[in-house]
Amino acid sequence: MNVGIIPARFASTRLMGKPLADIGGKPMIQHTYESCLKSRLLHEVIIATDDEKIAKVCREFGARVVETPKDIATGSDRIAYVASNMPLADIIVNIQGDEPFIQGRMIDEAIEPLFFDQNVNVSTLAKKVTTIEDLNSPSIPKVVFDYHNFALYFSRSPIPFVRDARTDQERITKYDIYKHVGLYVY
């Protein structure tokens, strides 16, 4: 069984109540949840939250919700808490609650490597940086890969450093710089 778990926390340090932010008449978390339902490879989608307001809103639009303790520090820890009570889950997908425009096929693309290679235990997605705003934004994590497409490190700073680039525009047009998509498959 493949389970998608969306961690959602009200007390975000960057934007309080972010999962409930209105996007086109729906809360952000609802957009993320509905996008996850379009995955062909997920059998179940769960929202993991420590907040009663978020839980209530999510139940109102039909989501399965697991309430987690408030002292859980990170989204990954919230995922582990929920996953520890799911012994029949073969694959756990951590979908960030602030990815309202993630597509079902993207989730499937991240899951597939675990089907085809027994040596792959974790998978994620990245996309080429195409704007200077994305390159310099600290809210967009960047990732550097080795020659086998294994992530070496992540940073909110522009990486890799390109010594010979004279401008940010040259950096993104002449060099491969990637941003991380908020999705992890275990």
Q: Where are the domains of the chain?
A: 2-121, 126-178
Q: Please provide the DSSP assignment of 82-111 as one string.
A: HHTT-TT-SEEEEE-TT-TT--HHHHHHHH
pLDDT tens-digit map of 11-31: 766 666 789 999 999 999 999
Q: To the nearest whole number, what is the mean pLDDT of the chain? A: 92
pLDDT tens-digit map of 67-122: 999 999 898 999 999 999 998 899 999 999 888 999 999 999 999 999 998 888 99
Q: Please provide the DSSP assignment of 4-27 as one string.
A: EEEEE-S--SSSTTGGG-EETTEE
pTM over 0.85: yes
Let me know: does 178 contact 135? Beta carbons within 8 Å: no
The proportion of the chain whose per-residue pLDDT surpasses 90, expressed as a percent, equals 70
- CA distances 174 to 7, 138, 141, Å, are 36, 22, 20
The fold of 2-121 is Spore Coat Polysaccharide Biosynthesis Protein SpsA; Chain A (3.90.550)
